[in-house]
A and B are shown apart, each in its own frame.
Chain A
């Protein structure tokens, strides 16, 4: 069964159709890449899935149940987590706290229990600290050791991107939405992130929907590629199939008016 299903989802801002009658299906354990030129509606698609925008028509189902109309935090608790294209870390909090904060949805201790430090609350704290350690150690030593207690603003750009992924996985999601994970990274970091996304699926067991502009990354990770332009799905299939699709080439490079003449 498909983990995520979008059926005829549309959204317009005023007269502009940002997403138009979009169908998208993601199977459990798949890595699907979404590509398209700037303004194609890729990030809007993520905002629709995570509940930040509500679709005007159509239905979004996760694990068979409709998630349209739920608050973003409820959708997150159902098992969809994301990273942001423009990094949105909790900059003035420590690396550890960034990850532990994302455990809010699957922890329970209320105000009174936190003030009294009941044994249950302390056990829960130990558990999510252990979880944070596990999620951060996914990136080797980069976010461990002394960085553990440092504020997120002291991290380099690439480490911030890694921390965002760690934070997203701390919500214990089944579906991970990665919005341009390789943006702003140098070639070797890009190579590293490509391998990492594969590991996230193979070792972490997450289903992954990823927006990416770097075609090497897309080629390296994707089981399937979906190309969007002006909110419309223009191609879908394997990387080779989509990359050679005439419509995709046209969307990226424009119509070849010279040769058509």
Chain B
């Protein structure tokens, strides 16, 4: 088996050496996700059709709330599905259309606000859900068409600035137009989804998150995923990707580029608006700040991390980032995550590289030594609050954690670790290896003493670090296709 090449590269050899044969380029283009010895496995995995993966994934997701009855976990799962939908929508504009749309979250907001105005006591309108959802989707798509107009003349960073301004505009309007949007206090008591019989879909059963919303969101996700997938494999999808690759050539080959740009913006916006209705119906309220930069950056992170342009990739990105952000809220869990990632990373790299293995070992020893010295000098230096669980106890014997850290410690340590990391990049050889040891330890110190006490900014810093590392290792994202730069 091993000597027969998958695509029959040698079969053309019978014609003899011909001009313009480029087998080696073709072979070079074979992308491997897994190491060579797992190649048969990878081939089998690739042979599984996409709908089988989707069924498997959705099936597992449906079982999830049955296995895990915690309302909190269900809520996180629901939020993750929302993010998966948002990532799918953004993938249309950015991944396929190649249009850098930084106003995307505004459509999410427009959808949520539109649903809130159509189904709440705010104006006393209570449209049936089967009417209001299509109306909201159309409103979202129309808003997308309007924002698409600047893309006729602007591309790249210029378009990004204009769309970013649109997001700011949405923010300003929702915050200040108190009569309509309720200003910073938002709109409250929004209706949950209603079934055609007049029955309301309760958002909670006995104070616990109602599973029905998770299923509704999943159903919408499946519909959107399949619809976009089919669209991508059609005339419009091909035209979108042509537009991303080369707008001038696309136009010269008979594709109405301007119309296609509007279509991409409108499709993305429609998906975002649809997701907005889910958000508003479940939480029962909308506030301007729910649809702002943090959400925008989170969705972009998912799309880039998973692989822009690949539907399964962006879903995977959402599936990783959304629960990760939740885990990082909790100091104990994020501590485990941090040290497992740090230790795991060093162990993985050290497997092949003896120097890294030595650095890792030295760091471990260094920590215990520093900890012992600090304890001998003053017990208060290591008496900081350990978290719950055995893992925290273990970490507590390694990292210094002062009981009452001085005010200057946090900024100094923070700046110190960044400076030390930068210094390590300019050093080389054994000096760098030696300098790396205290740098890693200082990083752990900052994590334990500074970042864990403020989880909210810390989790985004961690997210940023993950993104940087992944972009260095896999510039096209986890499942992104190998891309060549278009010059």
Q: A24 at interface (Cβ–Cβ under 8 A)?
A: no
A155 within 8 A of B: yes
A88 within 8 A of B: yes
Does A77 make an interface contact (CB < 8 A)?
yes
Nearest chain B CB to A239 CB, angstrom units: 26
- Contact call B235/A104, Cβ cutoff below 8 A: yes
A170 to B254, CA, bound (A): 10
Render A107-120 as a binary contact track against B, CB cut-off 8 A, 1 for contact.
10111001111000
With A82-B252, A88-B249 as known contacts, state yes or no: A145 contacts B12, CB within 8 Å. Answer: yes
Bound CA span A160–B252, Å: 17
**B interface size (C-beta, 8 A):** 44
Contact B19 A150 (CB under 8 A): no
Chain A neighbourhood of B8, CB < 8 A: 145-146
CB of A81 closer than 8 Å to a CB of B = yes
Measured between alpha carbons, how far is A97 from B239 in the docked complex, in Å?
Answer: 10
User: Across the interface, which residues of B come within 8 angstroms of A142, CB to CB?
Assistant: 20
**Chain A proximity of B217: nearest CB distance (Å):** 20
Among B242, B250, B252, the most chain A Cβ lie within 10 Å of the Cβ of: B252
Within the assembled complex, what's the spacing in Å between the Cα atoms of A18 and B21? 39
Of residues 93 to 135 in A, which have CB atoms within 8 Å of B's CB atoms?
93, 97, 100-107, 109-111, 114-117, 121, 124-125, 128
**Interface pick from B24-32, B194-202, B332-340:** B24-32
- B234 smallest CB distance to A (angstroms): 3
Instruction: Tell me which of A9-17, A184-192, A218-226 binds B.
Output: A184-192
Which chain B residues border A145 with CB–CB below 8 Å? Answer: 8, 11-12
Q: In the complex, how many angstroms separate the beta carbon of B347 from the nearest chain A beta carbon?
A: 36
Residues in chain B near residue A105, CB distance under 8 A: 253-255
List of A residues within 8 angstroms of B12 by Cβ:
141, 145
Interface 9-residue window, one of A68-76, A195-203, A205-213: A68-76
Q: B242–A101 contact, CB under 8 A?
A: yes
CA distance A88 to B343 in the complex (A): 47
- The interface residues of chain A lying within 8 Å CB-to-CB of B29 are 150-151, 153-154
CB-nearest residue of chain A to B247: A88
The SS class assigned to the A binding surface is helix
B231: contacting residue among A77, A102, A104, A111, CB under 8 A: A111
| CB neighbours of B28 from chain A (8 A) | 154
Contact across chains for B481 and A92 when beta carbons are under 8 A apart:
yes
B241 near A73: Cβ-Cβ < 8 Å: no
**Contacts A89-B246, A146-B9, A155-B22 given; does A73 touch B251 at CB 8 Å:** yes
CB atoms of B234 and A88 under 8 A apart:
no
Interface residue? B257 (CB, 8 A): yes
Q: How far is the CB of B243 from chain A (nearest CB, A)?
A: 9
Across-interface contacts of B257 in A (CB, < 8 A): 73
Q: For B486, give its contact among A91, A97, A110 (CB under 8 Å).
A: A91
A45 shortest CB reach to chain B, Å:
15
**Structural contact, A90 and B241, CB atoms closer than 8 A:** yes
Chain A residues, CB < 8 A from B234: 109, 114, 121, 125
| A33 CB within 8 Å of chain B | no
A111 touches B22 (CB 8 A): no
Q: Do A90 and B256 have beta carbons less than 8 Å apart?
A: no
Partner of A111 from the list B7, B242, B252, B267 (CB cut-off 8 Å) is: B267
Cα separation A65 to B466 with both chains bound (whole Å) = 59
Of residues 240 to 276 in B, which have CB atoms within 8 Å of A's CB atoms?
241-242, 244-246, 248-257, 263, 267
Residues of A within 8 A of B244 (CB): 92
The distance in angstroms between the C-alpha atoms of A93 and B230, with both chains bound, is: 16
Q: List 27 A-B contacts (CB under 8 A).
A: A50-B252, A52-B251, A52-B252, A71-B256, A73-B251, A73-B254, A76-B251, A76-B254, A82-B252, A88-B249, A91-B486, A92-B244, A92-B483, A93-B241, A93-B245, A101-B250, A104-B239, A106-B254, A111-B231, A114-B236, A115-B227, A115-B231, A146-B8, A154-B25, A186-B19, A189-B19, A192-B19
Cα-based distance from A90 to B22 in the complex (angstroms): 18
B45 part of interface (Cβ distance < 8 Å)? no
For the complex formed, measure the closest distance between the CB of B453 and the CB atoms of chain A, giving whole angstroms. Answer: 45
Binding site for B on A (CB under 8 A): 50, 52, 71-73, 76-77, 81-82, 84, 88-93, 97, 100-107, 109-111, 114-117, 121, 124-125, 128, 141-142, 145-147, 150-151, 153-156, 158-159, 162, 167-168, 170-171, 186, 188-189, 192
Known contacts: A90-B241, A90-B249, A114-B231. The answer to whether A147 contacts B26 by CB under 8 A is: yes
The answer to whether A101 and B253 touch across the interface, beta carbons within 8 angstroms, is yes
- A contact residues around B246 at 8 Å (CB): 88-90
Across the interface, do B25 and A155 meet the contact criterion of CB distance under 8 Å?
yes
Take A90-B241, A92-B481 as given contacts and tell me if A117 and B230 are in contact as well, using a CB distance cutoff of 8 Å: yes
Question: Is B484's CB within 8 Å of the partner chain A?
Answer: yes
User: What is the chain A residue whose CB lies nearest that of B28?
Assistant: A154
Instruction: Describe B's contact surface by its main secondary structure.
Output: helix
B484 A91 Cβ-Cβ under 8 A: yes
The residue of chain A having its C-beta at the shortest distance from the C-beta of B27 within the complex is A154
B238 at the interface (CB under 8 A from A): yes
B22, B230, B253 — most chain A CB neighbours (10 Å): B253
Query: How far apart sit A192 and B267, CA to CA, in the bound complex (Å)?
Result: 45
Q: Are B230 and A76 in contact (CB under 8 A)?
A: no
Residues of chain A with a CB closer than 8 A to B263's CB:
111
The CA-CA distance from A106 to B235 in the complex, in Å, is 11
Q: How far is the CA of A121 from the CA of B237 in the complex (A)?
A: 13
Find A91's partner among B227, B245, B251 (CB 8 Å cutoff).
Answer: B245
Smallest CB–CB gap between A205 and chain B, Å? 19
B7, A146: Cβ atoms under 8 Å?
Answer: yes
20 new A-B contacts at CB < 8 Å, known A115-B230, A162-B20, A168-B253: A89-B246, A90-B245, A93-B242, A93-B245, A101-B238, A101-B239, A104-B239, A107-B235, A109-B235, A114-B230, A117-B230, A142-B20, A145-B8, A145-B11, A146-B7, A154-B29, A155-B25, A156-B21, A158-B19, A167-B253
Contact A104 B245 (CB under 8 A): no
B231 cross-chain contacts in A, Cβ below 8 A: 111, 114-115
Instruction: Provide the bound-state CA to CA distance between A73 and B29, in Å.
Output: 32
CB distance from B258 to the nearest CB of A (A): 8
- In angstroms, Cα B481 to Cα A154, docked, is 13
Q: Give CA–CA (A111, B227) in the complex, Å.
A: 10
Could you tell me the distance between the alpha carbons of A90 and B255 in the complex, rounded to whole angstroms? 13
The answer to whether A76 touches B253 (Cβ under 8 A) is: yes
The reply to whether B242 and A90 contact each other, CB–CB distance below 8 Å, is yes
Q: Are A156 and B22 in contact (CB under 8 A)?
A: yes
Q: Which residues of B contact A158 (CB under 8 A)?
A: 19-20
Q: Which residue, of B7, B255, B486, has the highest number of chain A Cβ atoms within 10 A?
A: B255
Evaluate contact between B238 and A71: CB separation under 8 angstroms: no
Closest partner residue, chain A, to B11 (CB atom): A145
Query: In the complex, A125 Cα to B235 Cα: how many Å?
Result: 8
B255 contacts which of A82, A93, A101, A115 (Cβ < 8 Å)?
A: A101
Task: Out of A106, A107, A154, A186, name the residue touching B26 (CB < 8 Å).
Answer: A154
